Amino acid sequence: MPQFDPELIAVMKRVLEDTMIRVPAEHSTSAAKAYFAEYILKAAAQGKNSYDALIVAAADHIEVFVSLSARAATA
């Protein structure tokens, strides 16, 4: 498991908070937070360490998550 410096951890937390603001309220759950945290951690582990790179990595998955959540709710 990669080790992240405190500065990058702070950036990742901010990215997670900002991503959750973009998630529609009805899908903003603890499961959503865990889902996006995983993508942010994976992106950071791949060397993406700027706010901009991480927010793009997380935001790219919002529609996917909403779609998956909607399907699970109707199943």
Neighbours of 43 (CB within 10 A): 20
* Sign of the torsion angle spanned by Cα atoms 40, 41, 42, 45: positive
Mean pLDDT value across the chain: 91
- Quick one: tokens of 23? 């998630």
The pLDDT, as a whole number, for residue 22 is: 94
The predicted structure's pLDDT at residue 72: 77
Helices 51-59 and 30-45, packing angle to 10 deg: 130
Instruction: Say yes or no to pLDDT of 68 above 70.
Output: yes
pLDDT of 67 above 90 = no
- Mean pLDDT within 57-70: 88
- For 45-53, what is the mean pLDDT? 95
| CA atoms of 23 and 18, how far apart (whole Å) | 9
Alpha helices in the chain (DSSP H): 6-22, 30-45, 51-59, 62-74
Q: Once rounded to an integer, what is the mean pLDDT over residues 4-26?
A: 95
